Structure 1
Amino acid sequence: MEFSQSIRFLMVRILATWTVAMATFSGATECRQTEQIGLRRLIGDYESPTGCRAHVADLTDFGGVGDGVTSNTKAFRDAVGNLSMYSDDGGAMLLVPPGRWLTGPFNLTSHFTLFLHSDAVILASTDLDEYPIVDPLPSYGRGRDIPGGRYSNFIWGSNLTDVIVTGDNGTINGQGQIWWDKFHNKELNSTRGYLLELMYSEKIIISNLVFVNSSSWNLHPVYCNDVVISGVTILAPTTSPNTDGIDPDSCSNVRIEDSFVVSGDDCIAIKSGWDQYGIRVGIPSEHILIRRFTCISPYSAVIALGSEMSGGISDVRAEDIVAIHSESAVRIKTGVGRGGYVRDVFVRGVTLHTMKYVFWISGNYGSHPDDGWDPKALPEISGINYSNFVAENVTMAANLEGIDSDVFSGICISNVTISLSPKPKKVQWNCTYVEGSTYDVRPTPCALLPENGAPCAFPTETLPVESLQLDICSK
């Protein structure tokens, strides 16, 4: 099948999947990897899983009302507070049954599963008074939108172990329009919170759910280890501000797979702190695996590294990636003052249609938290490997901008075929302050990336997070 026919087929399939996801959601249910699902019990007129945790409760047991109007803030908080008592006794699961469950922000707890029925929708309150102002992240030093603190995240937790957020493809709706409007109108005095953020936590699974209309970033694990994000759908208008899909931030051992994002910002953005604050905290993002991932984001990247990367980013592996109508496939965003490093990045098996750039490295990303950044803090960018890309309807093959006196080195690009748009840029490869090589790349790369006769490397050893298995709960 010709490439253009393949893309048309893929677009039809994705649009069909999106339409179904926006109407009714169904799918497999996952439980703790070390246990098998037992029986299912009947609650009302639907069956719910039992056995993944020793203790199971329904939101209605705590007074929940799923009419889309009644506030369930107290019900969610009481439920989590009650179930947290079982963390040392086999853990607990909170079931969210069919309905529209309006609530303000609430925390999660350890050894805990939040499970959404396929017809369950958790609706974030649009009453901003329900979102207290909290401290900024240590590695950022201030709110990301504006100086100062930030509004509470919608669902969050800190210092947790063994947390599962999953379901039969139920929905978590951030109802972000009010936040987007106030952000555009400069009516917010603090940074927007995120739809789901876990801090200083480990053994996290987020799976088989749909996240829509976040106020800002959708999924934000920060200072976490052993994170699996699998089978999620994330949807936001492509014009919505900063609605990143998945942002692992100063995290180690992360697996992102079998997921689909439509976003107003980067579909995946790997981060590790901002300028002097990220350098001081010094927690890198490393050992990150991305596979079988699809993105639509006309104004941003499919996979971004940075711009906040001051704690370092290394050992990132991505493969089997599809993007339709996105600004760039892979973008490294950094600049003077960032410090840190991005190294040992491997991306292969990428199919693209309608792109501004295929490859983009920005060494002049100048956004800083305040005036305290160090002009001598230069980033290290090295060991960047891209292979087996096929792209159609591309405006410009590559825009690769290093920094004077800080050459970005070890860039390898191989087995790449790029077909240009009807009105392409006259210069297809813009290269400054970069060093590396290419192999079998069309159109012909810039002189700073000469042909060397060998394809790029991809690691053969597996990452520990690859062996983390997600057992399927039987029906």
Structure 2
Amino acid sequence: MRRSLLALGLMGFMSMAMAADGTTGATVSADGKTGATAAAAAGAAAMTANLCLPQEFGGVADGKSLNTAAIQQAIDKCAALGGGEVRLSEGLWLSGPLELKSNIMLNIMADATLKADNRENDFVAAYIGAPTQPKEAFLLANNAQNVMITGSGTIDGSGEEIWWEEALEVRKAVRSGNAKVFEERFPGVKLANGMPRPWLIELNNVTGGMVYGLNITNSPMWNVVIRNSQEIGVNNVKITAPTTSPNTDGIDIVSSKRVHVENVEIFTGDDNIAIKSGVDQRTASASEEILIENSVMHAGHGISIGSETANGIGEVIVRNTTFDQTENGVRIKSARDRGNMIGPLHVSDVTMEKVSTPILITFSYAGNSGAAGLGLVEPLDAMPVTPTTPHVDGVYINNLKATGANIAALLSGLPESIVQNVVLQDVEIESQMGIQARYVSGAIINTKVESADGKPIVRGPDYRMREAR
């Protein structure tokens, strides 16, 4: 991974000092010391050059008035001036879908809430396998540069009020065996996706983007979606959704590179963070150069790579992160119909408490949320290698400590594609069941697994892990 990413030099305005009220403090240096480019610095300057207020266009934060037009006109005004800050002051701002543009800072101040309102039925459903379309996210930046969504206020997606009930009914029908209902209503959409709904925040084909300081809650579906983008930061953000909320991933990184996630806290009903590259090959690029650090994952499915990995996943780093009662810890999930090259993945200095499966690598994903209680040590039938066969090479896990787990780790490749170069070093796990592994190579070094069943490692077929103290 490039040194600039590790030095946090993702973009010029990432180094802005943010005051408690969400306003910008220090200016951006463009001398290269922070990794900023002249273009990024110019974009950051443009975002503070003009102030555009929805009140100028009749906007009222009274919790009753629909402010879609007023907020959008404020955005358009700043964009026409070359960039600027669109500020939402104290109050409840109801709005339909909004489109952000280059060099725009949307600043949601303390005690301000921007809440989704679909009274005009203008939201449309989003789907990872389809091109971006207008109004598929509450806040959409498409084909833009230098976009910032910031402040210390709240973005409320009205998911519970408008979208979750129907999605849960569809899920119930599918899980009862009536998949035909889903397939007829949503042709071409994978069952694992869940019922398509709008996303909350989407950055698509954006260079230089930041989501900073906000409370994000109640999303219709995925919360923060970073798609086909680069030099993106998500920092000091809290994302909340009930564990029962359907498909409410916290952060989805799709076919994007040089993404830095830091100091986030996520409670959700699905993956806390998911890194993907699409369901069909040659329709998108790999996701790579991803850094996740200094964060807390609460109730949810943990940090996942996949399951949509058809265009590959490059280097991912997860470090200095806590997992608290998530279903999984760090997971790679793929399948024969959606794979490509995946790796390397570096995980270090991680703690997990009451995480069902701390380490999970499987190539048999079929829409199941996790692997608690599964045993993956039986032989599999080999299949021909195809362009979508998943290949994992390089998973390095160092200084991971987990207590209260169910299964310590599941490592399960395929006969035709074993998981290669998995290294567990200085790992300590207390669990009901130990490591279950098949079709995997690598090393287990100075690692201690205390399992209640007395079987710290169950070795399945084609187990090639070197074990050393």
TM-score tier (shorter): 0.7 to 0.9
Q: Which position in structure 1 is the counterpart of 2:466?
A: 450
Q: Which amino acid aligns with 1:309?
A: T
Q: Is the 8 A contact 2:256 2:288 kept in 1?
A: yes
The Cα of 1:132 is off from its aligned counterpart by: 3.8
Structure 1 gap ranges (5+): 1-24, 37-49, 144-148, 369-373, 454-475
Provide the rounded CA distance (Å) in 1 between the counterparts of 2:286 and 2:118.
34
Query: Any idea what the Cα deviations from partners look like across 1:433-471, whole Å, max 9, x if unmatched?
Result: 111111111114455323245xxxxxxxxxxxxxxxxxx
Pick closer, same or farther for the CA change 1:141–1:101 going to 2, 3 Å.
closer
Alignment map for 1:19-418 (pairs within 5 Å): 29-30=23-24, 34=28, 53-87=48-82, 91-127=83-119, 129-132=121-124, 136-137=127-128, 140-141=129-130, 152-167=136-151, 169-177=152-160, 178-186=162-170, 191-274=196-279, 277=280, 279-298=281-300, 300=301, 302-366=302-366, 377-418=388-429
Report the alpha carbon displacement of residue 27 of structure 1 after superposing the two structures with TM: 6.0
Conserved 8 A contact 1:333-1:363: yes
Structure 2 residue aligned with 1:466: none
What secondary structure, in the 3-state scheme, does the structure 1 residue paired with 2:137 have? coil
Which position in structure 2 is the counterpart of 1:463?
none
The structure with higher relative contact order (CA 8 Å, sep 6+) is: 1
Question: Any gaps of 5 or more consecutive residues in structure 2?
Answer: 1-18, 31-44, 171-180, 187-195, 369-384, 450-455
For residue 444 of structure 2, what is the aligned residue in structure 1?
A: 438
Query: In 2, Cα distance between the equivalents of 1:385 and 1:196?
Result: 32
Runs of 4+ in 1 over 6 A off after TM superposition: none
Q: Determine the structure 1 residue equivalent to 2:430.
A: 419
Partners of 2:346 and 2:409 in 1: CA distance: 17
Q: How many residues align?
A: 389
Distance in 1 of aligned mates of 2:437 and 2:401: 21
Question: SS state of the match for residue 71, structure 2?
Answer: helix
Distance 1:382 1:233 in 2: 33
Corresponding position of 1:15: none
Aligned counterparts of 1:285 and 1:51: Cα–Cα separation in 2: 29
- Tell me how far apart the structure 2 counterparts of residues 240 and 128 of structure 1 sit (CA, whole Å): 24
State the Cα distance separating 1:310 from its structure 2 match: 1.0
- Are the structure 2 counterparts of residues 166 and 377 from structure 1 closer, same or farther at C-alpha, using a change threshold of 3 Å? same
CA displacement at 1:303 relative to structure 2? 0.9
Task: Tell me how far apart the structure 2 counterparts of residues 272 and 256 of structure 1 sit (CA, whole Å).
Answer: 18
> Secondary structure at the residue paired with 2:326?
strand
Contact between 2:222 and 2:250, CA under 8 Å: does it hold in 1? yes
- Residue of structure 2 in register with 1:462 after alignment: none
Q: 1:193 to 1:330 in 2, by over 3 A?
A: same
Q: Which deviates more from structure 2 when the two are superposed, residues 178-187 or residues 346-355?
A: 178-187
Partner Cα separation in structure 1 for residue 147 and residue 410 of structure 2? 40
Following superposition, the deviation at residue 261 of structure 1 comes to 0.3
| Cα distance, 1:51 vs structure 2 | 9.0
Structure 1 residue 353: Cα displacement: 0.6
Letter in 2 for 1:162: N
- Map Cα deviations across residues 165-214 of structure 1 (whole Å, 9 max, x no partner): 101x1000001012110112239956211100011110001100010010
Alpha-carbon distance in structure 2 between the residues aligned to 1:192 and 1:252: 25
Report if aligned partners of 1:282, 1:312 keep a CA contact under 8 Å in 2: no
**Aligned mates of 2:316, 2:75 — CA distance in 1:** 35
Could you say if the C-alpha distance between residues 385 and 27 of structure 1 is closer, same or farther in structure 2, counting changes exceeding 3 Å? farther
Q: What is the TM-score with the length of structure 2 in the denominator?
A: 0.78
CA shift for structure 1 position 377: 2.2
Shift in CA distance, 61/108, structure 1 to aligned 2, threshold 3 Å: same
Instruction: Decide whether the 8 Å contact of 1:235 with 1:263 is kept in 2.
Output: yes
How far off its partner does 1:417 sit?
Answer: 1.0
Separation in structure 2 between the aligned mates of residue 352 and residue 214 of structure 1, nearest angstrom: 26
Residue 270 of structure 1 aligns with an amino acid whose one-letter code is I
